[in-house]
Amino acid sequence: MRFGNGRRRLTAVDGVDLDLPEAATLGIVGESGSGKSTLARALVGLVPIASGDVFLDGDRLPTARDGRVVDRRRRIQMIFQDPFASLNPRMTVGEAIGEALTVRGGAGRGVRGAEVARHLDLVHLDPQLAERMPSGLSGGQRQRVAIARALAARPEVLIADEITSSLDVSVQSAVLNLMRELSRELGISTIFVSHNLATVRYLSDRIAVMYLGRVVEVGRTDPVVSAPQHPYTRALLYAVPSLGGSVPADLELGDPPDPHAPPPGCHFHPRCPVGPRTRPDRQVCIERDPREGAEDRPHCAYCHFASSDAVHQAEERVHVARDR
Amino acid sequence: MNQRGLSRILQALRTPVGIVASAGLLLVIVLAIAAPFIWSGDASRIDILHTSQGASHAHWLGTDALGRDIFYRVLVATRLSVFLAVLAAAIGAAVGIPIGAVPAIVGGPVGRLVTGFINLAVAFPALLVAIFVASIIGVGAHGAVIGIAVAIAPYYARLSQTLSSSVAGSEYLAAARMLGVKRVRLLTRHVLPNIAEPLLITSTISIGDALLSLAGLSFLGLGVQPPQYDWGRMLNEGLNRIYVNPEVALGPAVAITLGALTFALFGEVLAKAAGAGGARRWLRGELAEADAASVRAGVGSTEPAGRAGAGLAGAGATDLVLAVENLTVSFPGGAVPVRDVSLRIEPGEIVGIVGESGSGKTLTAMAIADLLPAAAHLSASRLCLFGEDPRALSTSQRRRLLGRSLAVVYQDPMSALNPALRVGRQVGEVAEVHQGSSKREALGSAVDRLRAVHIGSPESRARQYPHEFSGGMRQRAVIAMGLMAEPKLIVADEPTTALDVTVQQQILRLLRDVSVSRSAAAILISHDVAVVSQLCSRVVVMYAGRVVEELDVGTLVDGPAHPYTAALVAAVPTMASDRERPLASIPGRAPTPFDDLPGCPFAPRCPRASDLCRAQMPPLEQRSPTHRAACWHPMPAGADIVEEVAV
């Protein structure tokens, strides 16, 4: 699957090109305002696209007149962040999953009960829960029902938008384990969106780092995490709390930018620890958009100094990786 | 309607208003059904000898132009009046509600067209529309009913549109759309069931309105025609004699009023039942369980108290910033979210409280800060804050003690600051209230503190409003507010949970610097063990309202003793987690504040639990000078919980 999105009035997603290989998990990580959720919603047609295309298995998905992507065969499904809002409070679990089966077709009334039970089993829930209303379930259980419902539609691509952020810690790991298991056993391609770098790293084969609507770095997980090319990625890694570590020294990043008025050139330069703020000779960061020439750099990094800085970061890598 | 809804309604009916409303409704229904059978004859008996008479012993409300008894006619007319009102409301609802729900499903230009049409229809005065339609269709009951229905349908449509637009924005509707559910089914299965409750209530109230309107139409001569009669018709007939025999018109008038009021009142009762759900549900519990729980809690608390007191080493009582023993917070209805918590904090110490939702960590801190909700009941065998027992102080003394020496940082920076006041003013308020500073002095101190928390250009920032600050800056402003006096204790309740990870580190660093520079102790509450371990020297782990372990960070990293702590640490993915192995997870659910199990609260989910664990509560035992754990089978140092807990 491949997508490239374009500009909007407030450029929430700015010229993103991403590839999702089959049966792999792509993690999209970024902070608030990075555009990652907007990107996820645009892929399922909840948010209109100003320009760009989405290709699924080589087929271009058409866009309706209002700019929303139309996925007629429902091959892309999404799981939302809030488990309390994503299930109809007036439908039982069985009805919700059954609805997905009915739409997909091929499940007559007799078979449906068994299919619902099978899907509940797939997400490690007791099939007897099919009779219950969502208000009687915990957050982790509801999230699993949402996953089962998405799976019932037999999607080719599953998008998980911050699905563990609203859950308790002990429950998060169960849902993460489930996602990992499903992607490996069922071979579904997954896009996992989160602000939590450790979670994204755990689940993903490839990672894309987003900042202010742009993908500033993308590549396979291990190289991106162990040898980050973009200063923002490095800053994110540096900021991940580690058990028993000390509070890291101040990177003096300053305040997050206003998405309505992104800085010229490289969007990150006002906060970049190795940019024109600390190194006045690096004026190119303000003058030229690092998007040019990004394909030639390692990890398609949006940074003029990607490969050269990476060499100098060798010593810092010990601190950046932050292994126990 | 499910079980809980039914019980809510029954409870609402038990109030004085509810009793009156249901009695009235019952009367109306009984009369509507039975009156014609019983009194039809009396109501239609013509007595030419006694026409147009006033109230008398034989005829309580007098007679009409044909000598018929008005009192009986009023009773018998109940059926027609109520039936027509219900019919009009029903037709209006059946037409208006689906139309109003259309924009939520269809969207685009068609949806906008429908919305515009509804707005237009609502703009017309309802009664005029009713009269207009009734006149066109022709005099008679059917004309009146259709007229009223057409007049009130736009109001139903408007309400339905508002309600369904909130459903339209919901995620479950988006999910259903993504699944490919057809539009009709979206309407019937997703939108309508979720807007049914408020609409039902409105319908009940609008029956009362329809009753009034129908009476009005009949009164004007457009509605019910003779030989049929309803209350409005009777009012029409009786009005001519109102100066002579007012009771003739009074009868029907009172009937109309009471009828309409009954429906309106009953609708209000339903509305109250619907609204009573959320907040009270949390506090309500079965009475029997609550009694049993309080007895057990009372018995169980004596033993650990002795142990905890004996086990704690350290500074003399008056040196401690905080000393709490056997703190218990309970709510009426049987919820005990904090059970038997003991805590000691030395000056300058940073202590972390870790737990998941429902562990009681926030309420513990709020209890210390005297910020519990009014319904909460606090009990502690010892509560010593800054060397004094706040419970023994008067309200003003307590406020002064806490206002000067305690600073609190909350989770949500968006709501921690008053959006209507400038930041400088809010931050400086502490000085004005507790230190008697003038406004100018307070503002000056506020600017000073804003600078101390690294907010750039503090003078101009102080004049701004909170919405001009970013989330991280607001948190810093809240910390600055806490620094206005000289705090001896800073309580930070999940201060970074709502912030981005890069900002998170800045805030944590600020808290540490503030604590160090002012020798202030701090309590950091979080569900994130890693965050807590970075900042704090000592960590308290809470589960189901109790302290299950207290340890320093080194022990936390090397090998906690309590299986819950170990599982909590193992369950969180870190940058070093093995991607080939599943994460540790904890099956089952944590107990609620209403549950009170005899043994260890973690036993149902613990891989090491034995019968002893389930039967008896383990005391908080000292394992080393800096380590306490409440467990019958603590983990040996260095054990790998993943082996035991993994899915």
Distance between B590 CA and the closest CA of chain A, angstroms: 10
Chains A, B: CB pairs < 8 Å: 192
* B179:A199 CB<8 A: no
Report the residue of chain A nearest B357, measured CA to CA.
A168
My answer on whether B552 and B588 are in the same domain is: yes
Range of the domain at B607: 293-417+469-645
Compute the average pLDDT of residues B535-553.
Answer: 91
How many structural domains is chain B composed of? 2
Pick B500's closest partner by Cβ from A32, A78, A169.
A32
Distance between B527 CA and the closest CA of chain A, angstroms: 7
My answer on whether B365 and B494 are in the same domain is: yes
Q: Is the pLDDT of residue B305 over 60?
A: no
Q: In three state form, how does the secondary structure of chain A look? A: CEEEECCCCCCCCCCEEEECCCCCEEEEECCCCCCHHHHHHHHCCCCCCCCEEEEECCEECCECCCCCECCCCCCEEEECCCCCCCCCCCCCHHHHHHHHHHHHCCCCHHHHHHHHHHHHHHCCCCHHHHHCCHHHCCHHHHHHHHHHHHHHCCCCEEEEECCCCCCCHHHHHHHHHHHHHHHHHHCCEEEEEECCHHHHHHHCCEEEEEECCEEEEEEEHHHHHHCCCCHHHHHHHHHCCCCCCCCCCCCCCCCCCCCCCCCCCCCCHHHCCCCCCCCCCCCHHHHCCCCCCHHHCHHHCCCCCHHHHHHHCCCCHHHHHCCC
Cβ of B178 under 8 Å from any chain A Cβ? yes
* Total residues belonging to chain A: 324
Q: Is B383 among the domain residues?
A: yes
Helix (H) or strand (E) holding B378: strand B377-379
Which is nearest to A144 in space by CA: A115, A173, A109? Answer: A173
Query: What pLDDT does B456 receive?
Result: 78
Could you tell me if A194 and A165 are in contact, meaning their C-beta atoms sit under 8 angstroms apart? yes
Q: Is B453 among the domain residues?
A: no
My answer on whether B143 and B258 are in the same domain is: yes
In which band, very low, low, confident or very high, does the pLDDT at B401 lie, cut at 50, 70 and 90?
confident
Quickly count: other Cβ atoms within 10 Å of residue A131's Cβ. 11
Cα distance between residue B138 and residue B141, in whole Å: 9
* B585:A177 CB<8 A: yes
Q: Is B377 among the domain residues?
A: yes
* B194:A239 CB<8 A: no
SS3 A161: strand
Report the residue of chain B nearest A134, measured CA to CA.
B172
* B647:A174 CB<8 A: yes
Which is nearest to B524 in space by CA: B491, B550, B499, B553? Answer: B491
Which is nearest to A275 in space by CA: A211, A318, A220? Answer: A211
Residue B633 DSSP one-character state: S
A43-56 pLDDT tens trace: 888 888 877 888 88
My answer on whether B336 and B225 are in the same domain is: no
Cα distance between residue B154 and residue B92, in whole Å: 8
Distance between A241 CA and the closest CA of chain B, angstroms: 6
My answer on whether B298 and B267 are in the same domain is: no
Cβ of B589 under 8 Å from any chain A Cβ? yes
Pick B583's closest partner by Cβ from A124, A138, A177.
A177
Q: Is B435 among the domain residues?
A: no
Distance between B456 CA and the closest CA of chain A, angstroms: 10
Q: Which two structure tokens, joined as six digits, stand for B369? A: 């800060």
Checking phi first, is residue B596 left (phi over 0); if not, alpha (psi -120 to 50) or beta? beta
Report the residue of chain B nearest A174, measured CA to CA.
B585
Q: Is B58 among the domain residues?
A: no
Domain A2-209 has CATH 3.40.50.1220: no
Q: Is B381 among the domain residues?
A: yes
Which residues on B lie below 8 Å from A174 (Cβ)?
585, 587, 647
* B576:A324 CB<8 A: yes
Report the residue of chain B nearest A221, measured CA to CA.
B579
B456-512 pLDDT tens trace: 788 888 888 988 888 788 888 888 888 887 888 999 988 887 778 888 888 888 888
B562-606 pLDDT tens trace: 999 988 888 888 888 888 888 888 887 778 888 888 888 898 888
Cα distance between residue B534 and residue B524, in whole Å: 11
Q: The domain spanning residue B110 has which CATH number?
A: 1.10.3720.10
B positions 521-550 inside 8 Å of A (CB): 527-531, 533-535
Q: Is the pLDDT of residue B292 over 50?
A: no
Quickly count: other Cβ atoms within 10 Å of residue B84's Cβ. 26
* A169:B553 CB<8 A: no
User: CA gyration radius for chain B?
Assistant: 35
Beta bridge partners of A27: A192, A207
Which residues on B lie below 8 Å from A48 (Cβ)?
none
In which band, very low, low, confident or very high, does the pLDDT at B2 lie, cut at 50, 70 and 90?
low
Please give chain A's pLDDT, 324 residues, in tens: 666 666 555 667 777 888 888 888 999 998 877 888 888 888 888 888 877 888 888 787 877 777 777 777 778 899 998 888 889 888 889 988 888 888 777 667 778 888 888 888 888 888 888 888 888 888 888 999 999 999 988 888 999 998 888 788 888 888 999 998 888 888 889 999 998 888 999 999 999 999 888 888 899 999 988 888 888 898 888 888 888 777 777 766 676 777 777 788 888 888 888 878 888 888 888 888 887 777 778 888 888 777 666 555 544 444 443 333
Domain ranges of chain A: 2-209, 227-321
User: Furthest-apart CA pair in chain A: how many Å?
Assistant: 73
* A243:B574 CB<8 A: yes
My answer on whether B337 and B476 are in the same domain is: yes
Report the residue of chain A nearest B181, measured CA to CA.
A103
Q: Is the pLDDT of residue B43 over 70?
A: yes
Which residues on A lie below 8 Å from B576 (Cβ)?
321-324
C-alpha B584: how far from its chain's center?
34
My answer on whether B34 and B163 are in the same domain is: yes
Q: Is B282 among the domain residues?
A: no
B55-87 pLDDT tens trace: 788 788 888 878 888 888 888 888 989 999 999
ipTM of this predicted structure: 0.81
User: Hunting for tokens 């007049």 — which residue is that?
Assistant: B151
Quickly count: other Cβ atoms within 10 Å of residue B86's Cβ. 17
Pick B584's closest partner by Cβ from A74, A173, A256.
A173
SS3 B330: strand
CB burial of A69-100 (b: ≥16 within 10 Å; e: otherwise) equals: bebeebbbbbbbbbbebbbbebbbbbbbbbbb
Distance between A170 CA and the closest CA of chain B, angstroms: 6
My answer on whether B618 and B542 are in the same domain is: yes
B positions 297-356 inside 8 Å of A (CB): 356
Cβ of B576 under 8 Å from any chain A Cβ? yes
SS3 B338: strand
* Total residues belonging to chain B: 647
Q: The domain spanning residue B370 has which CATH number?
A: 3.40.50.300
* B556:A66 CB<8 A: no
My answer on whether B536 and B635 are in the same domain is: yes
Cα distance between residue B559 and residue B639, in whole Å: 7
In which band, very low, low, confident or very high, does the pLDDT at B318 lie, cut at 50, 70 and 90?
low
Q: Is B63 among the domain residues?
A: no
Q: Which two structure tokens, joined as six digits, stand for A310? A: 């990476």
Beta bridge partners of A192: A27, A160
Amino acid at A89: P
Distance between B354 CA and the closest CA of chain A, angstroms: 11
Query: What pLDDT does A4 receive?
Result: 66
SS3 B509: helix
Sequence-distant (6+) residues with CB within 8 A of B394 are: none
Pick A250's closest partner by Cβ from B176, B509, B586.
B509
Sequence-distant (6+) residues with CB within 8 A of B316 are: none
* A90:B181 CB<8 A: no
